[in-house]
Amino acid sequence: MKYLDEYRDGQVTRQLLEEIQGVVTRPWALMEVCGGQTHSILRSGLDRLLPPEISLIHGPGCPVCVTPLELIDRAVALASQPGVILTSYGDMLRVPGSKHDLLSVKASGGDVRIVYSPLDALKIAQQNPDKQVVFFAVGFETTAPANAMSVFQAKRLGVENYTILVSHVTVPPAITALLDSDEVQVDAFLAPGHVNAVMGYHEYEALAARYHVPMVVTGFEPVDLARGILMAVRQLEEGRAEVENAYSRAVVREGNVPGQRIIHEVFELCDRKWRGIGTIPLSGYKLRPDYAAFDAEQRFPQVQTIETQESALCISGQILQGLKKPIHCPAFGRECTPQTPLGATMVSSEGACAAYYRYGRLERTLEETKG
């Protein structure tokens, strides 16, 4: 595929890996923030081709994984209501709530539909005026413009039976929380290229300066990732701490200005609970008062009281903060598999645990076979 295969080229990747090898002199820990990056690293086997000095820590940038359990329970409760059509991105359907997931609500007769865009959900609302259509609006800044646009359009068109269940989170406060934590040891960040494509990277410049930590805006293909790692390692070796852009084919410093405008038109910042991490101040979006009529939790106030506790076995919080790797979890691959996930990091194909389960068990198995 043109514009994609070039960034999966084996020879170019190997050349970059050689350059990394030539530059690195001591151990460094790099965090790739976004789940899509984790997925690509493990799928291509890039992690095993890096020099041993470099360790990658998988960050909290998987929207499915950080959505708190109680929001999933609220979505399940909404989907179980008669007269409600719950629409969602596909991979939220398998995330277990405390009792059910959305797939089992669907099997019991609930009307749960996968959409590829919230604008499709809005269309469903227009086609079903006698039903309440709720869109499960999860995601980082990447999905925020489209989700905001659906609400903006619903208001403009007077579609009154459309609401969204908002669970939006934003990246910079999460990075700040990680950097403020004493436990988390990250020397440099590979910033999430798709979030930067929307928001730009000026916010990250302040963080890099304040914490003296290099940040490299990085894409999602093996060549992009290898280039991002090389640039981060160079900064570390040279003692620099700047924001650099290794994904210039998609990202400019200012980001997507019309996209930001629609986000700010519809959403405002709020405190958000992150699954496994806890509440981070001003780390998410909620609907502005002007758009509160489209808030599913206002339309169906009965779901506001649903609160839930996490599984005691699951260590996804520590995994999302890069404190532990999935293979350090006693439940990994045993009680917890993609078929029987205990936590969201095992559910989403972008989740660190699922990515490890799918692509990362090789070394352990080879060791066991040898042993």
Partner 1 sequence: MSTSEKINLSGWTCPAPLRNYPQVVMGHGSGGKMMADLIGHLFKPLLDNPLLGQMGDSTTFILEQGGRLAFTTDSFVISPIFFPGGSIGELAVNGTINDLAMSGAIPLYLSAAFILEEGLPMTDLGRIVSAFSAAAAAASVQVIAGDTKVVNKGHGDGLYITTTGIGLVPAGIEIAPHRAQPGDAILVSGTMGDHGVAIMSVREGLAFESPIVSDTAPLHGLVQAMITACPNIHCLRDATRGGLAAVLNELAGASSVGIEFGEGRIPVNPAVHGACEMLGLDPLHVANEGKLVAILPRADAEKVLAVMRAHPMGAQAAIIGEVVESHPGMVIARTAIGGTRIVDLPAGELLPRIC
Considering Cα of 9, then 200, then 54, then 65, what sign does the dihedral take? negative
Dihedral, 131, 136, 142, 146 alpha carbons, nearest 10: 10
Per CB under 8 A, 114 contacts partner 1: yes
Question: CB burial class (10 A; 0-12, 13-18, 19+) of residue 180?
Answer: exposed
Considering Cα of 257, then 259, then 261, then 264, what sign does the dihedral take? negative
How far apart, in whole angstroms, are the C-alpha atoms of residue 156 and residue 245? 37
Per CB under 8 A, 68 contacts partner 1: no
Per CB under 8 A, 90 contacts partner 1: yes
* φ/ψ bin of 198: left (φ > 0), alpha (ψ from -120 to 50), beta (otherwise): alpha
Per CB under 8 A, 348 contacts partner 1: yes
Q: Which range, of 35-43, 155-163, 165-173, 229-237, touches partner 1 by CB under 8 A? A: 35-43
> Where in 148-207 is the site for partner 1 (CB under 8 A)?
194
Nearer to partner 1, 79 or 186 (CB): 79
Q: Which range, of 209-217, 262-270, 301-309, 350-358, touches partner 1 by CB under 8 A? A: 350-358
Nearer to partner 1, 153 or 337 (CB): 337
Residue with tokens 């200012």: 254
Nearer to partner 1, 68 or 139 (CB): 139
Q: Which range, of 86-94, 163-171, 232-240, 262-270, touches partner 1 by CB under 8 A? A: 86-94
How far apart, in whole angstroms, are the C-alpha atoms of residue 201 and residue 212? 16
Nearer to partner 1, 59 or 214 (CB): 59
Strands (E), the chain: 28-34, 54-61, 84-88, 111-114, 132-139, 162-169, 188-192, 215-218, 243-245, 267-274, 278-287
- Count of residues near partner 1 by CB under 8 A: 48
Per CB under 8 A, 54 contacts partner 1: no
Q: How far is the CB of 235 from partner 1 (least distance, A)?
A: 23
> Where in 128-147 is the site for partner 1 (CB under 8 A)?
138-139, 142-143
Q: How far is the CB of 182 from partner 1 (least distance, A)?
A: 32
